[in-house]
Amino acid sequence: MNVDSLYSDYNAITPVYERASSAITLGLIGRWRRSTIRLGLKALGNANAVDVLDAGSGPGNMTIELIKSGVNARRVVLLDQSMVMLKSSPRLGVIDEVCGLFELMPFRDSVFNMVIMGFSLHASSNLRKAYCEISRVLKAGGVLASVSIGKPNNSIYRALGWLYTAVAIPLITLVTAGPRYIRYFYDIHNIYVRLPSNNTFRGMAKGCLNLIEYRDEALGLANVTVMKK
C-alpha cells in the first residue's frame, strides 16, 4: 500500500474518525487509551511537570485522556502528518501542534519525558526508524506508551484478524459512518496484512528502547506496549 495515500485518507475520515473507531473496536478504544496512559505514567514514576509528545496524534484523543488523568503536563505536543486532523484537536493552553512524521521528527534530542501513541505506530512506513526516533527525542528514563493494531502470533487468531479487518470493519463502517467511508477504513485491512507478528513488532525496538510491559488485547488484534529509554 502507498503510505502517502494512507496519510491523505486520514484527512478524509476526520468527521467520522472517533465514531467509527469506537464502533470497529466494539467500544473498547477508550478503555485501551486510558490503560495505555495509566501504564505509561506508572512506568515514568513520580515525574513532575512532564513534557509529552503525542506522536501520530490525529485529533488528540490520547492527549485528552492524558489530561483527564490529572498529570502535571508542562507541555504537550501533538505531532501528525495531517493538518486537518490537527486542526480538529482540543484547544488547551498547554498544547502545541506540529505537522510532521514520527519517523523523522522535527525536534531536538532528549526533549520529552513521555511519548504517547494511540493507534498510530502500526502505520509507520519504517518501524525500526520510528522506534529509534522516539528514543532520540526521549530524555533518559523517558517512556513510550503505545496502543496499536496487532497481528497475533497464533495462526488461528491471525486468520480471524484477517477476516475481521477485511469483512467486519467495512460492514461496521457502512452502518456507523456511511458508504463513502468504507474504502478509507478498509485500509485497516491493508495495514494488518503488512504488519509483522506481535513478537516481531515489539522486538524491532531492541537497541533503541527497553520493553517494560506488554499486553495483548482482543486476542492480540490490539496491543498495549510500554517501553523505556
CB 94 within 8 A of CB 73: yes
What pLDDT shows up at residue 210? 97
Q: Which of 188, 211, 198 is nearest to 157 (CA)?
A: 198
Interval 46-89: pLDDT, tens: 777 899 999 999 889 999 999 998 888 889 999 998 888 888 77
Domains of the chain plus CATH, in order, are 3-228 (3.40.50.150)
Question: Alpha helices of the chain — where are they, by DSSP H?
Answer: 3-12, 17-24, 29-44, 61-68, 83-87, 127-137, 155-163, 169-176, 182-185, 187-194, 198-203
Interval 175-223: pLDDT, tens: 999 999 998 899 999 999 999 999 999 999 999 999 999 999 999 999 9
What pLDDT shows up at residue 4? 43
Interval 1-38: pLDDT, tens: 334 444 456 677 888 988 999 999 999 999 999 999 99
The answer, as to whether pTM is greater than 0.95, is no
Give me the mean pLDDT over the 144-159 stretch: 98
Give me the mean pLDDT over the 82-97 stretch: 79
